């Protein structure tokens, strides 16, 4: 474990934890880890809400428990202070402005959005918002119809723009976890798609049913089987979800070359 | 429409037949075509059994009648005119600039005088053919009476040469008159254009006027022995900590090629030296300086004065440039990823002026120890010693964003941050879940430099934050402070701030630290000494600190209307904050501005003073003591002292006349302890002294472009190229109508009658 003087700790930099102070240190770090949940924040603006978009028609929430579970995993594994009960928002100017990272899910076609909603989404993306589109793969339901509706929606929001595959070396795949290929409830294609706006990915589209892999009921059971990789694949789906949120927050932080000049690393983060 | 014209004399009477009626070409063409059609129709309508001569006769009579009719419509008149034949202008320009004027009796100007004297007879002939106008020029052309006056040496010996500009002015003066040609006597030196090869566009003006410019090169150099700094090139703006190249061109005339030491001086000290080999009369020295001080810099370049040098004045030159910040290096330490961090990162990375180095805490220690590092994409996180002991001074600003340093790093590292700020660095502390809450920096030595007094560690959690959403209020200081004065107009600024999005909560604090200023405050929440500060600043030692007690400013990023309005208010706020934190000279509280730059010697400069306090409010009535020093190579010499007292607006303006040329420094100290120093350059227009050699290519190019003739050190007036010799001026005109005479009508009727008779005789009527 890397050491730094006799500093107390809560953060990436780790405490000098000699044997004698082991118990004390464990107590400290355990307490520190619990800090975000003690309500010391400045209200919801300090927390990250994984908002899901509510839209008329179709099925806007095919995996109702998915984002809650992802929020919990982020809270558990990272320093991000998440809202554990993610909110659902309508695509209005006001609601989008409060939630710079939004998820759009569905498993069937939906009607075209109103012009005020598409305008709000366009402005949201232009000012720095990120939209993640995650279709649910449900047998017996017209999932292709959802994809077509999404295409029509994107044409209205960002006309004549075509989503391109995200290159395997993109920082999105390294924003927290190292990810070799995207995996969700289904194996899906080997890449994600995105639209880049002023150097950042503003729209990210999956075809892996990430929500299906994340969904877990109140009794603690996974709601959907993950295939073909089983629980290991489910873990990778969570890792991708965490990376998506980290990318929305940290952007190209992991690409900063200037870190190298500091050399002599103590820990990695 | 002239149809005939007599020959002309110098002053002559002329006559011509002119049309005074219908002159519209289209109308006349239509009528002519109609007549033609009528004539053809007439011929074809006649009985083909008739003899051809009869048919042709009738047709001819009809054609003549219609022709006469057309003539009557044109209303022909007999026009008598009295014409004055005026000779065209010929402009003769003589260059009297410094390069022509130096050398006494052997000067090029004297050579011009001799050439004109020799050509006296030819000039007299020329004056018979042309209206000769004489000009002398240096910076601008002046019309003079004759050749003698044109070659008189000017009172000021070193006038600069504006050859192309003066020639263009003369050509434009004759725009409304006939200019047959120009004769230009010069050495070709033009100090207004750079020392670069001549391109076609440089002489395009000569081609555009279409007037032949005959050039006469005067290039005698026998009398000259001179080593000179011909040109000093430096960009007017240099970047701090980056190398600014300075190029010095050295020229010699009449002095054998040799090695020359070129020295660059600043404030009386040698900055750099270069040894230059003069080859073929020219050499070049290249310097590179990396200034660290922001603001104006003035320097001196010298070359030695050889014993045979006739013009030691041009062995010294001055240069001035302004140093601005190249990059503002920001160290961004983030307690945990958040929207506030994301939007600040976006703003700083999008600003080319900022070089951002970020370190984010992505996992807590507990998470690190519990989940390990398997599968994580990690980047090196440096040791605290590396950041705070090795690299801290590389940064201009350290931002602690929702960061609780006391629990992460040892006090000695925080002491480094305090020292860094007191030495002139800047720190920003942004609140949030951890950043400014009790037990955070309050327990750290960092508290010493913050603008806020933070709550003690044991403050109950419910009292640490105010969770109500609010729209912050600017304080009276905030309305004027550069960080929060987002609009120049105070009322407009108020409106803008009122339009910004509400914020979601704030960290409570005890109050402002001593000497700190609150720029924006909470509308309801109170602290010991007033409203809860939301944005506060403080000057600490030589550095500055900014504290923000909320992590919700990011909401301003989304608060503007699409595509306009306060869309960039968030970015603007941070740009201003960074400028203030890094002491952008534009935001100094004691401002001294000297115009023009450089200050011409023997002309008064305007010096303006403005004094503001830390709250950027005017400070009236303060006495400022000013000292002007000359920064020559012999050291710094104070040579002028004066005092002023600021007016009610904290301002003062005066005119100041320099006494010597070269680099100067103005030091200002106020009775209230404020001080400022600025440097400026006083310069004599001595470019001329550095361009003494002739520039034949320029004269040749002008002659070629304008189809003129070029001569070297001789004036053969019979070889001059001109385009016209004279113009005609109508003194009087009389028109005598000839169409309204009875005989004209008679001819028309007669022709119709003859046709009638002929038709009757052949039985057509």
pLDDT the model gives residue B544: 95
Q: Does domain A19-264 have CATH number 3.40.50.12140?
A: yes
Q: Which residues in A lie closer than 8 A to residue B382 (C-beta atoms)?
A: 259, 262-266
Q: Does B414 touch chain A (CB under 8 A)?
A: no
User: Do the beta carbons of residue A250 and residue A199 sit within 8 Å?
Assistant: no
pLDDT the model gives residue A92: 92
Which segment of A120-129, B147-156, B393-402 scores lowest on mean pLDDT?
A: B147-156
For A267, the closest chain B residue by CA position comes to B381
Average pLDDT over chain B reads 85
Whole-angstrom Cα distance, residue B399 to residue B329?
11
Q: Do A268 and B381 touch (CB under 8 A)?
A: yes
For B340, the closest chain A residue by CA position comes to A46
pLDDT the model gives residue A12: 33
Q: Do A33 and B366 touch (CB under 8 A)?
A: yes
Q: Which residues in A lie closer than 8 A to residue B402 (C-beta atoms)?
A: 46
pLDDT digits (tens, 9 = 90+) for B287-306: 999 887 888 899 999 999 98
Cβ count near B442 (within 10 Å): 21
pLDDT digits (tens, 9 = 90+) for B50-67: 888 888 888 998 899 888
Q: Does B377 touch chain A (CB under 8 A)?
A: yes
pLDDT digits (tens, 9 = 90+) for B457-503: 788 877 888 888 899 999 999 988 999 998 888 888 888 888 888 88
pLDDT the model gives residue B685: 63
Backbone Cα Rg of chain A: 20
Q: Does B372 touch chain A (CB under 8 A)?
A: no
Q: Which two tokens stand for residue B707?
A: 């189809």
Q: How confident is the model at residue A218 (pLDDT cuts 50, 70, 90)?
A: confident
pLDDT the model gives residue A10: 32
The secondary structure element, H or E, covering residue A157 is helix A143-157
Q: What is the dihedral of CA A234, A235, A237, A239, to 10 degrees?
A: 170
Span B313-321, average pLDDT: 88
User: Do the beta carbons of residue A53 and residue A89 sit within 8 Å?
Assistant: yes
Q: Does B369 touch chain A (CB under 8 A)?
A: yes
Q: In the beta sheet, which residues pair with residue B15?
A: B80
Cα-flanking dihedrals φ and ψ of residue B520, to 5°?
-145, 145
pTM equals 0.65
Q: How confident is the model at residue B342 (pLDDT cuts 50, 70, 90)?
A: very high
Span B383-411, average pLDDT: 80
pLDDT the model gives residue B512: 94
pLDDT the model gives residue B73: 80
pLDDT the model gives residue B340: 92
* Whether pLDDT at A32 is above 70: no
Q: Assign residue B509 a region: left if phi > 0, alpha if psi is -120 to 50, beta otherwise? A: beta
Q: In the beta sheet, which residues pair with residue B359?
A: B333
pLDDT the model gives residue B189: 86
pLDDT the model gives residue A50: 93
From B112, B116, B123, select the one nearest B153 (Cα to Cα). Answer: B112
Whole-angstrom Cα distance, residue B638 to residue B652?
22
Q: In this complex, which of B364, B387, B562 lies closest to A11 when CB atoms are compared?
A: B364
Q: Do A174 and B377 touch (CB under 8 A)?
A: yes
Whole-angstrom Cα distance, residue B220 to residue B112?
11
Q: Does B459 touch chain A (CB under 8 A)?
A: no
Residue A120 burial (10 A CB sphere; 0-12, 13-18, 19+) = buried
Whole-angstrom Cα distance, residue B72 to residue B22?
9
pLDDT the model gives residue B562: 44
Span B630-649, average pLDDT: 87
Q: Do B386 and A264 touch (CB under 8 A)?
A: yes
Sheet of strand B141-144: strand arrangement: B141-144, B131-137, B89-95, B179-186, B213-217, B710-712
pLDDT the model gives residue B381: 66
Q: Which of residues 141-170 of A touch B (CB under 8 A)?
A: none
Q: In this complex, which of B377, B432, B434 lies closest to A178 when CB atoms are compared?
A: B377
C-alpha A260, offset from chain centre: 27
Complex prediction ipTM:
0.84
Residue A122 burial (10 A CB sphere; 0-12, 13-18, 19+) = middle
User: Under DSSP, is residue B122 helix (H, G, I), strand (E, B) or coil?
Assistant: helix
B519 vs B442, higher pLDDT: B519
Q: Which residues in B lie closer than 8 A to residue A81 (C-beta atoms)?
A: 336, 338, 433
Q: Considering chain B, what percentage of its residues have pLDDT values greater than 70?
A: 93
Q: Which of B558, B561, B574 to mutate to test the interface with A (most CBs of A within 10 A)?
A: B558
Which segment of A137-151, B159-173, B181-195 scores lowest on mean pLDDT?
A: A137-151
Cis peptide before B598 (omega within 30 of 0): yes
Q: Which of residues 56-95 of A touch B (CB under 8 A)?
A: 76-81
Which segment of A254-263, B266-275, B665-674 scores lowest on mean pLDDT?
A: A254-263
Span B634-661, average pLDDT: 89
User: Do the beta carbons of residue B133 and residue B89 sit within 8 Å?
Assistant: yes
From B571, B575, B578, select the one nearest B346 (Cα to Cα). Answer: B571
CA B302, B303, B304, B310 dihedral sign is negative
A185 vs B690, higher pLDDT: A185
- The HSE-up count of residue A161 (CA atoms within 13 Å, CB side) is 20
Which segment of A1-15, A94-108, B364-378, B553-567 scores lowest on mean pLDDT?
A: A1-15
Backbone Cα Rg of chain B: 43
* Whether pLDDT at B37 is above 70: yes
Span A221-229, average pLDDT: 90
Q: Which of B334, B354, B368, B409 to mutate to test the interface with A (most CBs of A within 10 A)?
A: B368
Q: Does A98 touch chain B (CB under 8 A)?
A: yes
Span A115-129, average pLDDT: 92
Q: Do A45 and B337 touch (CB under 8 A)?
A: no
pLDDT digits (tens, 9 = 90+) for B513-572: 999 999 999 999 998 889 999 999 999 989 999 999 999 999 888 875 443 344 578 899
Q: Which two tokens stand for residue B701?
A: 């190019």
pLDDT the model gives residue A19: 36
pLDDT the model gives residue B78: 85
Closest chain B C-alpha to A182 CA, distance in angstroms: 14
Whole-angstrom Cα distance, residue B536 to residue B540?
13
* Whether pLDDT at B183 is above 90: yes
pLDDT digits (tens, 9 = 90+) for B224-260: 678 889 889 998 888 887 888 999 999 888 888 889 9
Q: Do A266 and B342 touch (CB under 8 A)?
A: no
Q: Does B509 touch chain A (CB under 8 A)?
A: no
Q: Does A97 touch chain B (CB under 8 A)?
A: yes
* Whether pLDDT at A141 is above 60: no
């Amino acid at each position: 474990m890397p050491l730094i003087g006799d500093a107390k700790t809560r953060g990436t930099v780790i405490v000098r934890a000699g044997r004698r102070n082991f118990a004390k240190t464990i107590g400290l770090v355990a307490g520190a880890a619990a800090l975000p949940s003690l309500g010391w924040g400045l209200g919801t603006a300090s927390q990250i809400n994984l908002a899901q978009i509510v839209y008329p028609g179709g099925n806007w929430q095919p995996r109702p428990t998915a984002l809650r579970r992802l929020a919990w995993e982020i809270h558990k594994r990272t320093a991000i202070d998440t809202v554990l009960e993610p909110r659902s928002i309508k695509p209005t100017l006001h609601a989008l402005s409060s939630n710079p990272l939004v998820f759009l899910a569905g498993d069937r076609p939906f009607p075209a959005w109103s012009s005020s909603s598409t305008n709000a989404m366009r402005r949201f993306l232009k000012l720095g918002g990120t939209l993640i589109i995650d279709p649910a793969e449900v047998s017996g339901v017209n999932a292709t119809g959802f994809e077509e509706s999404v295409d029509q929606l994107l044409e209205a929001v960002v006309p004549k723009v075509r989503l391109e595959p995200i290159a395997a070396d993109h920082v999105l795949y390294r924003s927290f976890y190292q990810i070799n290929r995207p995996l969700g409830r289904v194996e899906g294609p080997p890449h994600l798609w995105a639209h880049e706006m002023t150097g950042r990915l503003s729209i990210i589209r999956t075809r892996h049913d990430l929500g299906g892999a994340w969904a877990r009921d109140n009794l603690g059971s996974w709601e959907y089987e993950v295939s073909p990789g089983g629980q290991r694949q489910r873990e990778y789906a969570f890792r991708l979800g965490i990376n998506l949120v980290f990318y929305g927050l940290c952007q190209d932080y992991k690409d900063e070359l200037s870190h190298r000049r500091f050399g002599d690393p103590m820990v990695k983060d | 429409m002239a149809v005939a014209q007599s020959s002309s004399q110098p002053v002559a009477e002329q006559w011509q037949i002119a049309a005074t009626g219908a002159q519209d070409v289209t109308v006349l063409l239509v009528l002519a075509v109609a007549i033609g059609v009528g004539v053809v129709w007439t011929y074809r309508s006649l009985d083909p059994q008739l003899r051809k001569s009869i048919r042709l006769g009738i047709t001819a009579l009809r054609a003549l009648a219609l022709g006469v009719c057309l003539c009557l419509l044109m209303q022909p008149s007999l026009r008598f005119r009295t014409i004055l034949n005026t000779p065209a202008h010929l402009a003769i320009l003589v260059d009297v600039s410094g390069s022509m004027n130096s050398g006494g009796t052997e000067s090029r100007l004297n050579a011009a005088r001799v050439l004109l004297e020799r050509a006296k007879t030819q000039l007299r002939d020329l004056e018979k053919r042309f209206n000769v106008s004489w000009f002398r020029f240096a910076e601008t052309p002046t019309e003079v009476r004759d050749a003698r006056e044109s070659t008189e040496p000017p009172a000021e010996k070193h006038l600069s040469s504006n050859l192309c500009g003066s020639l263009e002015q003369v050509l434009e003066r004759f725009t409304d008159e006939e200019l047959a040609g120009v004769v230009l006597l010069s050495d070709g030196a033009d100090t207004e254009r750079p020392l670069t090869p001549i391109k076609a566009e440089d002489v395009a003006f000569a081609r555009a006027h279409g007037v032949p410019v005959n050039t006469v090169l005067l290039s005698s150099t026998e009398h000259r022995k001179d080593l000179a700094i011909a040109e000093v090139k430096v960009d007017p703006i240099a970047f701090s900590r980056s190398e600014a190249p300075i190029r010095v061109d050295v020229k010699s005339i009449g002095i054998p090629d040799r090695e020359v030491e070129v020295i660059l001086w600043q404030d009386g000290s040698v900055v750099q030296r270069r040894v230059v080999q003069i080859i073929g009369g020219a050499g070049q020295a290249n310097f590179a300086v990396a200034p660290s001080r922001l603001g104006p810099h003035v320097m001196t370049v010298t070359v030695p004065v050889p014993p045979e040098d006739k013009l030691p004045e041009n062995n010294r030159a001055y240069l001035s440039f302004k140093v601005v910040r190249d990059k503002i290096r920001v160290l961004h330490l983030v307690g945990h990823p958040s929207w506030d961090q994301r939007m600040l990162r976006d703003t700083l990375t999008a600003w080319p002026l900022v070089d951002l180095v970020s370190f984010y805490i992505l996992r807590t220690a507990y998470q690190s120890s519990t989940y390990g590092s398997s599968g994580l994409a990690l980047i090196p996180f440096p040791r605290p010693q590396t950041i705070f002991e090795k690299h801290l001074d590389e940064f201009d600003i350290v931002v602690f964003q929702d960061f609780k340093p006391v629990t992460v790093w040892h006090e000695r590292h925080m002491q480094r941050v305090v020292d860094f700020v007191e030495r002139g660095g800047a720190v920003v502390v942004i609140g949030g879940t951890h950043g400014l809450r009790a037990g955070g920096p309050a327990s750290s030595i960092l508290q010493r430099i913050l603008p806020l007094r933070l709550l003690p560690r044991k403050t109950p959690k419910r009292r640490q934050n105010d969770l109500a959403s609010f729209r912050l209020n600017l304080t009276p200081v905030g309305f004027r402070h550069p960080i929060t004065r987002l609009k120049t107009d105070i009322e407009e600024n108020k409106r803008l701030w009122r339009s910004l999005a509400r914020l979601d909560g704030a960290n409570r604090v005890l109050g402002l630290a001593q000497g700190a200023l609150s720029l924006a405050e909470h509308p309801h929440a109170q602290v010991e000494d007033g409203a809860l500060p939301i944005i506060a600043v403080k000057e600490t030692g030589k550095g500055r600190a900014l504290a923000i007690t909320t992590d919700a400013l990011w909401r301003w990023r989304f608060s503007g209307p699409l595509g306009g309005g306060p869309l960039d208010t968030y970015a603007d706020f941070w740009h201003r904050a960074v400028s203030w934190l890094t002491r952008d000279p534009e935001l100094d509280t004691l401002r001294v501005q000297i115009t023009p730059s450089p200050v011409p010697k023997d002309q008064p400069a305007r010096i303006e003073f403005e004094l503001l306090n830390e709250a950027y409010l005017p400070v009236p009535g303060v006495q400022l003591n000013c000292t002007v020093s000359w920064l020559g190579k012999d050291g710094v010499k104070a040579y002028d002292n004066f005092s002023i007292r600021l007016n009610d607006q904290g301002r003062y303006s005066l005119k100041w006349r320099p006494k010597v040329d070269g680099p100067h420094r103005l030091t200002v100290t106020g009775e209230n302890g404020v001080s400022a120093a600025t440097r400026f350059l006083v310069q004599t227009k001595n470019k001329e002294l550095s361009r003494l050699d002739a520039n034949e290519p320029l004269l040749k190019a002008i002659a070629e472009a304008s189809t003129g003739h070029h001569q070297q050190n001789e004036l053969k007036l019979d070889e001059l190229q001109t385009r016209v010799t004279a113009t005609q001026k109508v003194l009087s005109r009389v028109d005598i109508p000839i169409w309204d005479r009875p005989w004209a009508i008679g001819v028309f009727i007669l022709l119709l009658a003859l046709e009638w008779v002929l038709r009757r005789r052949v039985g057509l009527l």
